[in-house]
């Protein structure tokens, strides 16, 4: 697929995806969602990747919501399909076997906040803004915002943000647990790369299983504790686990092979 609304670049095993509609504050439209669906379906099988970074083009916005012009005239059936497809795309991001970090370089509103929350970690540059303002349009979030926001910041504050539509600043986002780190303007990508280089030094299969176990906590069809002991058992017999134990005992750095 030839991308029209996103840019991709791979460097040292890190894929950077840039949402590229700066003239529209990087608002998500149907074409862009199809592109994101395609790229995350494709990269799921790329074993050489150590991580993914998602950010927005320009200096004002990560993603300032959805393209509202595409909502006009939709039927109930079409609205449900739009929401379900968006949720499925973001589930693919959440379930990536390598870490996905959002670098929020400006507005992360509506679908943009939902996209950021689907990532495993979030780095907010100091001018970032987070919000779910859908009630201002007579709507609710459709790409998982009502569910993931309370997972990160708790029911009380989440429902306040959802009902008022108010945005929060980077500092409050970090205090609430929505942002992992705050970076100076323009420095978010470098910090994200440093984190991914650190996770890349760990056992790659363990990284994948850790993501799966954490996500199982929020999957009502699974028992998170059961998932944990099953995955622990699967890992204990791997070459990487044995290498990690030997390296610890021999006081040296482990050499993981992803096996």
pTM over 0.85: yes
78 as an active site residue: the answer is no
Of 35, 94, 114, 227, the catalytic one is: 114
Q: What is the pLDDT of residues 164-202, one digit of tens each?
A: 999 999 999 999 999 999 999 999 999 999 999 999 999
| Chain centre to alpha carbon of residue 211 | 12
Q: Look at strands 51-56 and 100-104 and give their pairing.
A: parallel
Handedness of CA 5, 39, 79, 112 (dihedral sign): negative
The answer to whether residues 116 and 66 touch, using CB atoms and an 8 Å cutoff, is no
Strand, coil or helix: what is 48?
coil
- The pLDDT of 92-100, averaged and rounded, is 97
Note if 243 is an active site residue: no
The answer to whether residues 21 and 61 touch, using CB atoms and an 8 Å cutoff, is: no
Give the per-residue pLDDT at 45.
Answer: 66
Pair of tokens at residue 102: 């959002």
Catalytic pick among 134, 160, 171, 239: 134
Averaged pLDDT of the chain: 95
Confidence of residue 1 (pLDDT cuts 50, 70, 90): confident
Task: Flag whether pLDDT at 46 surpasses 80.
Answer: no
pLDDT tens-digit profile of 105-140?
999 999 999 999 999 999 999 999 999 999 999 999
Q: How far apart are CA 57 and CA 7, in angstroms?
A: 9
């Amino acid at each position: 697929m030839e991308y029209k609304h996103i840019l991709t670049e791979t460097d040292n095993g890190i894929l950077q995806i840039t949402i590229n509609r700066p003239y529209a504050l990087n608002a998500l439209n149907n074409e862009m969602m199809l592109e994101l669906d395609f790229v995350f379906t494709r990269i799921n099988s790329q074993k050489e990747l150590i991580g993914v970074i998602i950010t927005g083009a320009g200096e004002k916005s990560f993603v300032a919501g959805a393209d509202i012009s595409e909502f006009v005239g939709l039927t109930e059936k079409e609205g449900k399909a739009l929401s379900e497809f968006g949720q499925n795309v973001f589930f693919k991001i959440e379930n990536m076997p390598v870490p996905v970090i959002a670098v929020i370089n400006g507005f992360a509103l509506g679908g943009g906040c939902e996209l950021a929350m689907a990532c495993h970690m979030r780095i907010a540059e100091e001018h970032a803004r987070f919000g779910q303002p859908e009630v201002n349009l007579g709507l609710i979030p459709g790409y998982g915002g009502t569910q993931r926001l309370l997972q990160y910041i708790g029911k009380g504050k989440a429902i306040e943000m959802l009902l008022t539509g108010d945005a929060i600043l980077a500092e409050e986002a970090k205090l609430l647990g929505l942002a992992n780190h705050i970076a100076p303007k323009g420095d978010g990508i470098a910090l994200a790369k440093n984190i991914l280089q650190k996770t890349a030094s760990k056992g790659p299969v363990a990284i994948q299983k850790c993501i799966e176990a954490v996500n199982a906590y929020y999957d009502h069809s699974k028992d998170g504790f059961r998932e944990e002991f099953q995955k622990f058992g699967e890992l204990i017999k791997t070459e990487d686990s044995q290498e990690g134990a030997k390296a610890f005992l021999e006081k040296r750095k482990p050499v993981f092979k992803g096996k």
